[in-house]
Amino acid sequence: MTNYKTAIVTGAGTGIGKAVATALLRSGWNTVFCGRRKPVLNKAIADAGSTQAKALAVACDISKADQVDEMFETVAAAFGRVDLLFNNAGTSYKSTLIDEIPVEVWNEVVGVNLTGSFLCARAAFGAMRRQQPMGGRIINNGSVSAYAPRPGSVPYTATKHAITGLTKTLALDGRPYDIACGQIDIGNALTDMAQAMTVGVPQANGSIAAEAVMDAQQVANAVVHMASLPLDANVLFMTVMATKMPYVGRG
């Protein structure tokens, strides 16, 4: 047990999740690195280097309710409370028209992006409502696709629009319990998942074009800022994007 605040980051083994979890840890948050692959999580923690705050790797498939509940029990035993959840874990699928998307792909994307976010938010909300002192913050990873879809992205875009509804409702329902909820919408952060952006991806006009990208560290900095606010202040929505990427009109 320490006096540090405790954060949980899903999808923390790689990409944006790793960058955010590392930044929180280095900023003094006890940080739970959550993901499906324990060795990848352990490496992410090792890469973060020596810190005064504590890091904990917890393997969890967030689309499974029993695993999510078990993870939160593990965090409660280790740190006593949950002050921050960054609902980050997500998956996508190649650009495909709806009639060629396998149903199992739809179920997988919904299971991770939407159901997983619901399950983690559900557990975090319950913990934050009952702990003393009461309260905490939930930050959902939306996307520019929560506002403007890419071509051929029905499963991903549908889930990201749904995340916006989750964010708004949690922001409302959390008020009596000092639970703040916000959303960060990220555009073209350079991770392994976004590597294709630098080569060429489908555009709204039917062409294939490379797009501008930004360093994922800028996302981490933004999340740390959102997390650092007192609970009587909230960034409800923030868009952090590569300045020159297609967004407005996707042109």
Per-residue pLDDT tens digits for 137-147: 999 999 999 99
Q: Determine whether 247 is an active site residue.
A: no
Say which amino acid occupies 181: C
Catalytic residue among 4, 147, 156, 247: 156
Tell me the pLDDT tens digit for each residue of 190-213: 887 777 888 898 888 889 998 889
Query: Which alpha helices (H) appear in the chain, and where do they start and end?
Result: 15-26, 38-48, 65-79, 103-109, 116-130, 154-173, 216-228
Domain boundaries, the chain: 6-250
Instruction: Find out whether 21 and 141 touch, Cβ atoms under 8 Å.
Output: no
Question: 38 pLDDT band (50/70/90 cuts)?
Answer: very high
Whether the Cβ atoms of residue 110 and residue 155 lie closer than 8 Å to each other? yes
Find the angle CA(217)-CA(222)-CA(225) to the nearest 5 degrees.
130
pLDDT at 168 over 50: yes
| pTM for this entry | 0.94
Q: Give 223's Cβ-side CA count (13 Å radius).
A: 35
Q: What pLDDT shows up at residue 196?
A: 81
Write the DSSP assignment of 5-50 as a string of letters: -EEEEETTTSHHHHHHHHHHHHTT-EEEEEES-HHHHHHHHHHH--
Q: Could you tell me which CATH class the domain 6-250 is placed in?
A: alpha beta
